[in-house]
A and B are shown apart, each in its own frame.
Chain A
């Protein structure tokens, strides 16, 4: 049982490049989330999904897009990366009956 798996673990982009972060969970969870973590800023919610085919904006959605085509996967896209998007990105999932988020191990993204 892998839990929440994020790929890639590290990535370096140049300003203006695009990329997609993949999150996969094998717990049949309905809810999935993308957070970014910056020093001194805690965890801030970017986008989230309450089920397959649904997405919603969180606290800091600008510059990001998401898709939830399959229940087990939640993709985070950066269409035109900016240095301000240098961060550690965490995916998390939550299932009915649980009272906790399950987090992946994170993606360290640097935008030069």
Chain B
């Protein structure tokens, strides 16, 4: 059972455009939703994260939008740049569950073309 569904699998965006990646979750106990960014040949690294008590979090060009009732959250990359080309993973976890297990989506490969 896939607990975090991510779409699209791949995305091509023009430089300066907006990249949008969507995720949906099933387990209503999840209370922490991070996004990880992975460049080729590297391990994933935390990009931005949100808790369900807020509907939006912005850090620079990156914004998470969260819809608790729909059990969905999304990553928006404004003014996308070629350097943003990477694979993005959404994830979810239950804080305080004792093991900090993250359930990851399957990833979105973003290509930003000049």
Contact = CB atoms under 8 A, between A and B. Distances in A.
Interface of A: 4, 31, 33, 40-45, 48, 50, 56, 58, 90, 92, 94, 99-101, 103-106
Contacts of A106: 41-43
Contacts of B6: 42
Interface in B28-77: 32, 34, 36, 41-46, 49
28 contacts: A31-B99, A31-B100, A40-B9, A40-B106, A42-B6, A42-B89, A42-B105, A43-B44, A43-B89, A43-B104, A44-B104, A45-B101, A45-B102, A48-B101, A50-B99, A58-B101, A90-B43, A92-B43, A100-B34, A100-B49, A101-B36, A101-B46, A101-B100, A103-B45, A105-B41, A105-B43, A106-B41, A106-B43
- Which of the listed residues A43, A50, A103, A105 has the most CB atoms from chain B within 10 Å of its own CB? A43
Contact of A4 (B43, B104, B107): B43
Contacts of B49: 99-100
Interface of B: 6, 9, 32, 34, 36, 41-46, 49, 89, 98-102, 104-107
Secondary structure type dominating chain B contacts? loop
Contacts of B9: 40
A21 to B, nearest CB: 14
A104 B6 CA distance: 23
A68 to B, nearest CB: 13
Nearest to A95: B100
